[in-house]
Chain A
Amino acid sequence: MSRDMNESSPCRRMLTIAVVAAIMPSFALAEVRVVTTNPTLADLTRQIGGEQVHVESLMRGPENPHNVIPKPSFVMKLRKADLFVHLGLDAEPWVPNLLRSARQARLLSGGTGNIDTSTGIVLLEVPSQGGLTRALGDIHVYGNTHYVLDPLNGIVIGQTIARALTRVEPRHASLFDERARELERGLRELTEKLTQAMEPLAEARVVTYHRTWPYFLKRFKLQKLDEVEPKPGIAPGPRHIAQLAEEMKRSGVGLVIVETFSNQRTAQRVADLSKGRTVLLAQEVNAVPGVETFQALFQYNTEALLAANRELNGTSTNPPATEPTR
């Protein structure tokens, strides 16, 4: 009997290998499954979670986060998710209905798997409660929702994600914490480097298409002259475009920042009329080709602005503000 067993040991070894191979996927499945609304949050989750997480973004990079059509296939992704990471506030109005359709109690608002990354963020452009009206356009009632466009807000978001991952997978708590610290160190260095690089544009004024950029402008010491949209979410008419172009010429402002989901032709028209130049910036990771990480987004955006400025003014810099900003 024992001889038989010895003789069959190669088979047993194979059997063992087969069993291990069969068990392996269950180890692979032990990773935390995270679904994020957008690719920026997906990248930050990857940086904190590393190989311990499997991350998927519902939205594609070039899309407008406010205008996503929630599809039943999103429901299928959410059903398997341990964590759902989203921007919170009223940034993604399609999310509440999607969560109701997913039928997973842990992902509902207030559930353990519902991670709102606006926690701890200092919001800009918070409207006064008394002044809330649609006459102001498609405004956000809690404040500007594009807070991921300040690199240092990435630190707060990273910490929020690390805490959430720790709750789900406490065994890797120190790893997530260390990665959050590493992210913080990296982002501080990057911000300092990019802020220095942006010195030629310090206090320069720009025009932005949509109200996407206040966090970015504040961090890199740029000022906003005006917006192409007369009110958020409202398309500009010819008169507004002409007036804006005139205002730009009068103020010596030539840069028109436009995001991928805005009307490029209208932005170009403003730039043509004002003898300025449009700059397509990435408002999201994967919004433009090559911007695949949170850090690359700021690298790309600052380089694009500096390049556009050089092109616009030869080697000279944009004139600093000489008139009060509207």
Chain B
Amino acid sequence: MRSTLALGAALAMSCVGFETISAEAEEPSVDTPMGNVKRLAERVEEMERLRAEDQRRIRELEEKHETDRYAAESDEASAVEAEATGSEGGGVSGQGNLLNPAITAFLDMGGSWSSDEDNKARNRFTLREAELDFRAAVSPRADGVLVIAIGEEIKDPFGDVETDWEFEVEEGYLDVHTLLWDLALKAGKFRASFGRNNLLHTHDLPQVTRPLAVQAFLGPEGLATVGASLSWLVPNPWDRYVELAAQVVNADGGSESPILIGPGAENPAVLSHLKLFQDVGDTGSLELGTSLLYSRASGDFDESYVLGADATYMWRDPQKPDFRSLLLQGEFFWSRSDFLDTFGGIIRDDNLGVYVFGQYQFAQNWYAGIRYDYTDFPNLEVRHQTDPDWAISSYVTWYLFESLRLRLEYQHLDRDHVGRDDTEDAILLGLTFYIGSHPPHPYWVNR
């Protein structure tokens, strides 16, 4: 019984003690239930605010961690790379293919359906040119360029058809693009800076064929010979783009360079080009250029020079810059050649050539244009003709993909060959694509 009383007393005391502690823990100063609830709600609110703040900090830290981790990984990768290429090695030796040049292979093929049935180069499919283009830095300020072209050639278009493959180093040069004093230097075989079209490779032409004047004055594929070129960005008070190029090249270009031909061609030929550029409004531009090519020869071909002028206007729609553009371009050639006649006198031969074209981009991947050609033939040795040719062509170009282009062209050609006085109407097809490294786009493509 005593023990029961003692237990009861102990329980009673502990209950009293518990109540006292609980009351102290809650809020000694607040004694109404409503006050307690309000206080609790405030504390919950405070805790939620703190939680949101913590969440935000965690997110920030996560972001920072992600960035730091990436930077650390990059550093680690660099360290591994450095170790691998170091002299002590890390299981890896040599550079493998890592420093290989950018390689692009271009294929340019086509076909024609022509009224000229005598010309065996017409009315057939053709793989005009396969071109391998290698480019890489030689030093921080210089690049090396090698372009190898393999083209199908029909030896005698008016005889028996016999095709051959012509292998050629189309360009191979060192390009010191960043010299001192705004100068740049090229040495090797390169396309001569004469006008605008001559700088384009066959696969980059805006039409299926090269303009007749360029073919007649500079060669069927344009003029590319071995030599050196120095170009200078000319400082001027108007802060305009003025570039002057002077080139010294071999004149013994053979039949591929009509104006330079001559069994007694004397090296070198000299060439200069002046280029001016001006923005017109926000999205237009005008480029003007003049060119001069001069060569001498011994024997019956004394000297000749070609003067050129070129103008290019380009415009992009300010609202739809990738969908609408306009290009107007023209080039003018004038040459004078002096021949020695059999009596020791000089026969003077002046020639003229011109082309103009306009091209409109009417959809993202579609271009349409028209070109007019007129040309004399400055080199009698090669062409054996005296009367000019003229032609008009219209074309549509469709880029199926960035690397694949189709072109359809209609050409009316009027020529007065010695012994062949005729006109030709032809439908020309062009299919061009590249594989490999992404090449720079030619200027006439709105990309």
Contact = CB atoms under 8 A, between A and B. Distances in A.
A104 B141 CA distance: 9
A130 interface: no
A292 B138 CA distance: 42
Interface string A123-146: 000000000001001100000000
Given A60-B282, A152-B63, A192-B56, A94 B277 contact: no
B107 to A, nearest CB: 14
B402 interface: yes
A108 interface: yes
A97 interface: yes
B321 A94 contact: no
B67 A261 contact: no
A167 interface: no
A72 interface: yes
A32 to B, nearest CB: 19
B49 interface: no
Interface in A38-79: 60, 62-64, 66-67, 69, 71-73, 75-76, 79
Counting chain A CB atoms within 10 Å of each CB, which of B140, B239, B318, B322 scores highest? B322
Contacts of A261: 321-322
A120 B70 CA distance: 7
Given A120-B71, A134-B403, A134-B435, A69 B322 contact: no
A69 B446 contact: yes
B182 interface: yes
A130 to B, nearest CB: 14
Nearest to B143: A100
Contact of A122 (B67, B318, B319): B67
B233 A103 contact: yes
A215 B299 CA distance: 71
B96 to A, nearest CB: 13
A72 B141 contact: no
Interface in A90-106: 90, 93-94, 97, 100-101, 103-105
A67 B67 contact: no
A188 B60 contact: yes
A24 to B, nearest CB: 20
Contacts of B175: 100
Given A261-B321, A261-B322, A76 B446 contact: no
Contacts of B161: none
Given A72-B277, A108-B141, A235-B365, A103 B322 contact: no
Contacts of A79: 182, 233
Given A97-B440, A103-B233, A71 B365 contact: no
A122 to B, nearest CB: 5
B66 interface: yes
B364 A101 contact: no
Interface of A is mostly: loop
Contacts of B446: 67, 69
A60 B241 contact: no
A67 B140 contact: no
Contacts of A25: none
Contacts of B322: 63-64, 67, 261
Nearest to B444: A69
Contacts of B56: 192
B385 to A, nearest CB: 39
A104 B447 contact: no
A161 B329 CA distance: 41
Question: Looking at chain A, what size class is its interface with the partner chain?
Answer: 35 or more
B103 interface: no
Given A62-B319, A69-B314, A234-B401, A156 B67 contact: yes
Contacts of B435: 134
B51 interface: no
Contact of A73 (B63, B241, B401): B241
Nearest to B275: A72
B440 A103 contact: no
A76 B63 CA distance: 40
Contacts of B177: 100-101, 103
A192 B60 CA distance: 11
B364 A263 contact: yes
A72 B243 contact: yes
Interface string A112-124: 0000000011100
A186 interface: no
Interface string A148-184: 0000100010000000000000000000000000000
B183 interface: yes
A192 B56 CA distance: 9
A70 to B, nearest CB: 9
Contact of B321 (A63, A121, A152, A156): A63
Counting chain B CB atoms within 10 Å of each CB, which of A134, A137, A188 scores highest? A134
B179 interface: yes
B241 A76 contact: yes
A75 B321 contact: no
B285 A233 contact: no
Nearest to A59: B321
A90 B321 contact: no
B67 A103 contact: no
B178 A73 contact: no
A158 B440 CA distance: 30
Contact of B402 (A90, A121, A233): A233
B284 to A, nearest CB: 10
Given A63-B321, A76-B239, A103-B233, A122 B182 contact: no
Nearest to B70: A122
Contacts of B402: 138, 233
Counting chain B CB atoms within 10 Å of each CB, which of A69, A73, A75, A138 scores highest? A69
23 contacts: A60-B318, A60-B321, A62-B320, A63-B322, A67-B446, A69-B443, A72-B241, A72-B243, A73-B241, A73-B278, A73-B285, A76-B241, A79-B233, A100-B143, A100-B178, A103-B182, A105-B141, A105-B178, A108-B140, A120-B67, A120-B74, A156-B67, A233-B401
Given A73-B277, A233-B401, 7 more contacts: A60-B282, A69-B316, A72-B243, A93-B438, A120-B70, A134-B401, A263-B323
Q: Which 3 A-B pairs have the closest CB atoms?
A: A72-B277, A72-B241, A100-B177
Interface of A: 60, 62-64, 66-67, 69, 71-73, 75-76, 79, 90, 93-94, 97, 100-101, 103-105, 108, 110-111, 120-122, 134, 137-138, 152, 156, 188, 192, 233-235, 261, 263
Interface of B: 56, 60, 63, 66-67, 70-71, 74, 140-141, 143, 175, 177-179, 182-184, 233, 239-241, 243, 275, 277-279, 282-283, 285, 287, 314, 316, 318-323, 364-365, 401-403, 435, 438, 440-441, 443, 446-447
